[in-house]
């Protein structure tokens, strides 16, 4: 019994890894003409809540501040994000999404949404609800 459970869990782990690698690869290819996925993630976060300090963004995304700095430097060059100093405390710098960034984030979100609609079109709503229920029991 333990042997079978161990084998099933091993298969499940491999399946999870393959599914998420496939999704990440497909999404990165879909976004390739716009920006890498890590830039989109930052842009998306700023689209939901802007302005934001880099340290807040890093904490929310569970990445290092240096990672956020590198990514936002690239987004600033693409004119999708700006840095603004706090008027009261000049040491505080906030990141803010630009109109160009908002438009790009919206377009890329639509692309991603269409990808997932196609990816899951062969599953019924009931099957998707079952998957959600099972995933939620794991967290």
Per-residue model confidence (pLDDT) at position 63: 93
Distance of CA 9 to the CA centre of its chain: 27
- Closest C-alpha to 120, from 131, 111, 109: 131
| Domain 16-138, architecture per CATH | Orthogonal Bundle (1.10)
Rg, Å, the chain Cα set: 19
Per-residue model confidence (pLDDT) at position 83: 93
Per-residue model confidence (pLDDT) at position 1: 72
| List of the chain residues with pLDDT < 50 | none
* Helix 37-48 × helix 54-61 angle, to 10°: 110
Per-residue model confidence (pLDDT) at position 37: 86
């Amino acid at each position: 019994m333990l042997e079978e459970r161990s084998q099933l869990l091993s298969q499940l782990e491999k399946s999870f890894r393959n599914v998420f690698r496939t999704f990440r690869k497909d999404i990165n290819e879909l976004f390739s003409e716009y920006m890498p996925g890590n830039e989109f993630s930052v842009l998306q976060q700023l689209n939901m809540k802007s302005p934001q300090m880099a340290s807040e963004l890093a904490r929310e995304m569970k990445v290092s501040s240096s990672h956020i700095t590198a990514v936002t430097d690239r987004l600033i060059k693409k004119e999708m994000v700006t840095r603004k100093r706090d008027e009261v405390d000049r040491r505080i710098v906030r990141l803010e999404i630009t109109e160009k960034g908002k438009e790009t984030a919206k377009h890329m979100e639509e692309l991603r949404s269409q990808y997932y609609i196609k990816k899951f079109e062969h599953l019924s709503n009931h099957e998707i609800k079952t998957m959600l229920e099972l995933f939620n029991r794991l967290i």
